[in-house]
Structure 1
Amino acid sequence: MDSDPRLLVVAADDALIGPLCEGLDQLGWPTMTARTLNAAELVLSDLSVDAAVVDARGLDGQDAVARLRAAAAPRYLPILMVGSSQAEGRDVDLMMSSPPHPAQAALRLEQLTRAGIAEEEFRLRQATFAAHGVTLNAPDLGETPLQILTAGAADRRFLAMANALAAAGAEVVAAPTPYTAFDYLHERAFDAAVLWGGQDQAPALSIASGMKRNTRLYHIPLILYLRGTAEVELADLFRRGFADVAAAETPEDETAERVLALARNHRRRQAIRRALDSVRGSDLMDSATGLFTRDLFASHLARVAEGARSRNRALSVCVLRVSESEPVVQSRGGGWLDRAMPQIGAMVSRLVRVEDTAARLGPELFALILPATGAVAARLAAERISAVIACTAFDAGKDRSPFVVEFDVGVAEMQQGETPAAVLERASADLPRP
């Protein structure tokens, strides 16, 4: 099965977004270019394109978005429009006045694509539970305004961006220091956080690092707003977990709209997660961890595999087995590892993406279904989960040091004509020998 994402570029020439397309090609987003909307519609009718990048110059933004979406239907097409103002193409997923860094564009396109996949997964999950007599209710987005945390010193541009967020209806909470930022983060739920990269970016990087080590804060989108034009390594910032980086010359209103787009996406995904979590207490789920049982996992894997084939998308399965370390072996004696399993299961459920399915296949064996994910990305996701859990110390009893849990990881990507049971078996066989 072809697991490479495909990106449609709609541009009359390469002057504005040609370099962006070259960078996206190098980052694993192969591009196809259509010089007119008519040509783009033909491409969309023939190929399963994951997303589109549109040069807005000379186009009617609203008309372009409507035509591209109609041509791609029934599959949802995320659209990034470059060279447009906020007044144009209001139905577009993301607008930027100038071409972003390729790493930034790749990250945002991935986020937009995953949001669509999460919606598909929710419908598949509804069907799986319905087949077992359980109703999965629609996501509840709530009625409160979007909650945005802004962390950093009071600067004119930073305050202007915060005012633009408030004017758009968001509720903005300002934290002047990393300490107050974490106080707020632990007290209430936020849909996004904007960190100020002033003369010293260390406070922002400290907040980002702390949030990515916390399972509850891990998925909150982080935006770094730069103060000046000093040299920064954008690719490194995205590796650190930032969802977006706004350069100093970016208009405050545009930065605010990018923040709101991330916040809306996060709230929707969290609502889907809550809806999915609402059945954790069901008899269908593992009683200790609230994860899928072996039988329910097998049933859902078959349904997701069928969906992946129909959409020509990748599908990977990961198996995570508790590693045989000396502290783990000792913790089994007093039942301390068993006592830790509910917490470990809860951490796994929070660390997977909304569209991923986590199951407990055995006392110390977990499995993940990762839709639209190739083997390399699946291994990285599983290893990140293992690394975060390994940062937690579990109680080993009186007068004994706490122990940590690490995982052995096995991964398999579904191949053409392969059965769901076979891909799970290959993932298990990929585990290191004990």
Structure 2
Amino acid sequence: MASDPRILVVAPDDGLVGPLCQGLDALGWRTVTARSLVGAVQVLIDWPLEAVILDSRLAEAKAGVEAMRQTVSPRRLPVLAIGSEAASWEAGRVEIAMSAPPHAAQAALRLEHLVRAAIAEEEVSLREATFAARGEPLPAAEPDPSPLRVLAAGKPDRRFLALSNSLTALGCDVIAAPTPYTAFDYLHERPFDAAVLWGGEDHAPALSIASGMKRNTRLYHVPAVLYLRGSAEINLAELYNRGFADVAAADTPEEETAGRIVALARAHRRHVAIRRTLEGARASGLTDPATGLFTPELFAAHLARVVDGARLRRRPLSVAVLRIAATEAIAAAREGGWLDRALPQVGAMVSRLIRTEDTAARLAPDVFALALPATRGPAARIAADRIAAVIGCTAFDAGPEHPPFVVEFEVGVSEIGPEESPAAALERARAGIGRR
């Protein structure tokens, strides 16, 4: 059985975006098409879709963006506009504007980032309300107002220099790095909002830099853009799988490429601010002092609000419970007090491994819970198992006379039903620990 559609395509015909839709469908991003804005609004009423791909040739396309967003409010609706008209729209009208359809793998990657960012912004408003209701306002972290910082890595070339000049004209602070070594030096010395990598005759240096960024937790989310020199055959799907956020062809105008880089950089800076806001909860007096995670009382209050928000926005929601397994190594570590010493670090690892929009709580000394918005049950199981597996690779000190021990988890997951209470869903996740 086919899955429900995720993306609304608004286009007068298939001439511009038809092949893109076929590619997205093949990648699991099932699309549904509307041929008019009136039809688009009706589809949005009928289906809880995650994002919109808009053909800017459509009559009143520009004005229709706000109408579609109002239809699904308070759910946030990212829009990717495609067409020569969209490239000239003012900044902020849509999340992404491109003159030509992107590769399907690129579109899927960008849509994933846009959707997760929208969910994270929804979580910010919910979390602010939870803390305000308990007398501890959550301070909002505003994006850094300084000029965007872009690393331009690669040998000097006429087109690459022209792109750097276009970025500077858009107000960016561009730092040039002629070699991968200097690029990594700069990336480790100062924060950047994006990195544009010159794909000259040899793509190896650019690929090396991008791979290195993806292996570094601090640089992982910094968008990397590959700027191609020529039109030689290249596997775009492989490039996007390697972690490039965008690939600009040589025949793309420098101004448009610069605009796409700026949009990525702004989105990254906004993402950083959102994460700082959500992580600011740890500094309040309401969280668990040892781990910074939500206490049972705070988690119960927030989960109720998240459930109401998910139903209002017609998004799925799952919860997971991770309980430390009663292994022989854990029993020995518990007797010597070494488990108690390790638990704050375990909790800190849980908080770092969840996604920006997720909420983690410590329900008991050795029991943790997660609220995973916009996540179906199977995907929640994968996320919880991943967290358990990463923590299970860490060895904790058990004293001078004993070998280090590892922490294994038993995991239970439940997707909250249409009429189910938060407490019932959490209890169902507890009861399902160890089951598949």
- TM > 0.5: yes
The one-letter code matched in structure 2 to 1:9 is V
Q: Counterpart in 1 of 2:125?
A: 123
The one-letter code matched in structure 2 to 1:68 is M
Structure 2: distance between partners of 1:16 and 1:174: 36
Q: Counterpart in 2 of 1:292?
A: 294
Structure 1: distance between partners of 2:344 and 2:98: 44
Q: Counterpart in 1 of 2:177?
A: 175
Change (3 A) 1:376 1:188: farther
Q: Counterpart in 1 of 2:35?
A: 35
Structure 2: distance between partners of 1:174 and 1:387: 39
Alpha-carbon offset, residue 17 of structure 1: 0.7
Q: Counterpart in 2 of 1:312?
A: 314
Within 5 A, what are the aligned runs for 1:12-411?
A: 12-57=12-57, 59=59, 61-84=61-84, 86-88=87-89, 90=91, 91-322=93-324, 335-386=337-388, 389=391, 407=409, 409-411=411-413
Alpha-carbon offset, residue 124 of structure 1: 0.8
Change (3 A) 1:201 1:4: farther
The one-letter code matched in structure 2 to 1:51 is A
The one-letter code matched in structure 2 to 1:184 is Y
**Counterpart contact for 1:3–1:373, Cα < 8 Å:** no
Quote the RMSD (CA, aligned, Å): 3.3
Q: C-alpha offsets along residues 92-115 of structure 1, whole Å, 9 cap, x if unaligned?
A: 211112111222212212222222
The one-letter code matched in structure 1 to 2:264 is L
**Counterpart contact for 2:72–2:313, Cα < 8 Å:** no
Alpha-carbon offset, residue 35 of structure 1: 1.6
Q: C-alpha offsets along residues 31-74 of structure 1, whole Å, 9 cap, x if unaligned?
A: 22222233323434554432211112364553343443344444
**Counterpart contact for 1:221–1:262, Cα < 8 Å:** yes
Structure 2: distance between partners of 1:135 and 1:70: 28
Alpha-carbon offset, residue 122 of structure 1: 0.9
Change (3 A) 1:428 1:185: farther
Secondary structure in structure 2 of the residue aligned to 1:172: strand
Secondary structure in structure 2 of the residue aligned to 1:278: helix
Structure 2: runs of 5 or more not aligned: none
Change (3 A) 1:247 1:139: same
Alignment length, in residue pairs? 432
Q: C-alpha offsets along residues 73-99 of structure 1, whole Å, 9 cap, x if unaligned?
A: 444332111122531354121111211
The one-letter code matched in structure 2 to 1:118 is A
The one-letter code matched in structure 1 to 2:12 is A
Alpha-carbon offset, residue 280 of structure 1: 1.0
- Aligned counterpart in structure 2 of residue 424 of structure 1, from 411, 423, 426: 426
Change (3 A) 1:429 1:10: same
The one-letter code matched in structure 2 to 1:307 is G
Structure 1: distance between partners of 2:266 and 2:102: 21
Secondary structure in structure 1 of the residue aligned to 2:281: coil
Change (3 A) 1:236 1:385: farther
Of the structure 1 ranges 137-146 and 125-134, higher mean CA displacement relative to structure 2 is found in 137-146
**Counterpart contact for 1:153–1:177, Cα < 8 Å:** yes
Structure 1: distance between partners of 2:215 and 2:131: 32
Structure 2: distance between partners of 1:334 and 1:180: 49
**Counterpart contact for 2:56–2:62, Cα < 8 Å:** no
**Counterpart contact for 1:392–1:404, Cα < 8 Å:** yes
Structure 1: runs of 5 or more not aligned: none
The one-letter code matched in structure 2 to 1:141 is P
Structure 2: distance between partners of 1:14 and 1:321: 51
Q: C-alpha offsets along residues 312-345 of structure 1, whole Å, 9 cap, x if unaligned?
A: 1111223334567887677656655544444443
